[in-house]
Amino acid sequence: MNILVLGGAGYIASHICLDLIDAGHKVTVFDNLSKGDKKNVFQQSDFFYGDICNIKDLDEVMKKNKFDAIFHFAAFKAVGDSMIAPEIYANNNIIGSINVLNKMVEYKIKYIIFSSTAAVYGEPEYIPIDEQHRLKPENYYGFSKIVIENNIKWYSKLKNIRYAILRYFNAAGYDVKGRISTIEKEVTNLIPVAMEALFGRREYLPVYGDNYPTSDGTCIRDFIHPNDLASAHIKALDYIMTKNEDLLVNLSQNSGTSVFEVIKAIERLTAKKLNYKIVNRRLGDPTTVIASNKLAFEKLQWQPQYSNIDTIIDTTYKVYKNVYGEP
């Protein structure tokens, strides 16, 4: 199939492009490189430098190619920034996505696979979070994704677009076959920040509170490896096409790892001491976030294979070592 990958030069999408190429699809990466890296675009795919906020860019790429499906990763994702500059998130994430939906209608592209997030749920009312859990985002980023989800659902009803909305939890780790060579820019997530501390790019890893009601006092999160996300995306496309049915599922590991467990795993696997410091809790950080992946299993027969913490740390460490040298 002929597939357009919006935001395809980014961290998660580059892993999905590898699987799409392996599966024999023709891939066009569309990215404005605001956060992504041209090195994440593989030689087997085409690259189009463009912005989803620019209608002319979308027209140009869609006029040139007859796409069968769109994988939509293009978004800003920094929770803190979204609370400071919601207007940037409204424009990039919401307006950009509505442009994409309108162009899908105009160019008769039927299928969309959309990257949504755990942030749509907000503070968990129960664990594991399932897809029926109420939606109450604690930040504008999560809100922006709900608005897009709702628009996709309306376009499905009114314009016969078929969608897969995939809600990822904490993506971490790098390609297990070592085919990705770049690290993310301006990182805010636990594992890349820990790597920066390990490689002396920052003084220490801040641990936001060690007095939570968990066995070691630190928060617990559900990590998911991008190779596992990739296999789920391929299955999701197949599902919505063969069943002609929409899909909305969590993509998670269904189990959690605490911040201290992550730190211990890093020290054990790298045989290095990680400098960390306990600092104040952050506002709005839930104690435990674990999501059910039961529905993804039922619908897609998908289960994570690479999302154990050792594989996540090991693959991340290798890429950082290639970029920065020995810590």
Ligand X SMILES: NC(=O)c1ccc[n+]([C@@H]2O[C@H](COP(=O)([O-])OP(=O)(O)OC[C@H]3O[C@@H](n4cnc5c(N)ncnc54)[C@H](O)[C@@H]3O)[C@@H](O)[C@H]2O)c1
Question: Which span (2-10, 150-158, 267-275, 309-317) binds ligand X, by CB under 6 A?
Answer: 2-10
Quote the CA–CA distance of 304 and 282 in Å, as a whole number: 29
Identify the residue among 16, 69, 74, 194 touching ligand X (CB under 6 A).
Answer: 74
Instruction: Look up tokens 């891939």; give the residue.
Output: 27
Instruction: Look up tokens 């580059």; give the residue.
Output: 14
- What letter would DSSP give residue 129? B
Report in angstroms how near the CB of residue 215 gets to ligand X at its nearest: 24
Nearest CA to 34 out of 17, 13, 18, 51 is that of: 51
Quote the CA–CA distance of 242 and 203 in Å, as a whole number: 51
Reply yes or no on whether 49 is catalytic: no
Query: Is 50 within 8 Å of 57 (Cβ atoms)?
Result: yes
Identify the residue among 3, 4, 5, 7 touching ligand X (CB under 6 A).
Answer: 7
Q: Is 223 in the site for ligand X (CB under 6 A)?
A: no
Q: What ranges in 54-123 are assigned the alpha helix state H?
A: 55-64, 79-84, 86-89, 96-106
Nearer to ligand X, 52 or 205 (CB): 52
Q: Is 78 in the site for ligand X (CB under 6 A)?
A: no
Quote the CA–CA distance of 64 and 67 in Å, as a whole number: 9
Nearer to ligand X, 10 or 128 (CB): 10
Query: Is 12 within 8 Å of 36 (Cβ atoms)?
Result: no
Q: Site mask, ligand X, residues 26-65, x = CB under 6 A? A: -----xxxxxx--------------xxx------------
Question: Which span (6-14, 152-160, 272-280, 285-293) binds ligand X, by CB under 6 A?
Answer: 6-14
Quote the CA–CA distance of 327 and 312 in Å, as a whole number: 18
Report in angstroms how near the CB of residue 244 gets to ligand X at its nearest: 25
Beta strands in the chain (DSSP E): 2-6, 26-31, 46-49, 69-72, 111-117, 162-168, 170-171, 205-208, 220-221, 223-224, 247-251, 257-258, 276-279
Identify the residue among 77, 103, 133, 221 touching ligand X (CB under 6 A).
Answer: 77
Nearer to ligand X, 151 or 217 (CB): 151
Q: Of 91-120, which residues contact ligand X (CB under 6 A)?
A: 92, 96, 115, 117
Q: Of 161-200, which residues contact ligand X (CB under 6 A)?
A: 168, 170-171, 184
Report in angstroms how near the CB of residue 211 gets to ligand X at its nearest: 26
Positions in the binding site for ligand X (CB under 6 A):
7, 9-13, 31-36, 51-53, 73-75, 77, 92, 96, 115, 117, 168, 170-171, 184
Enzyme catalytic residues: 141
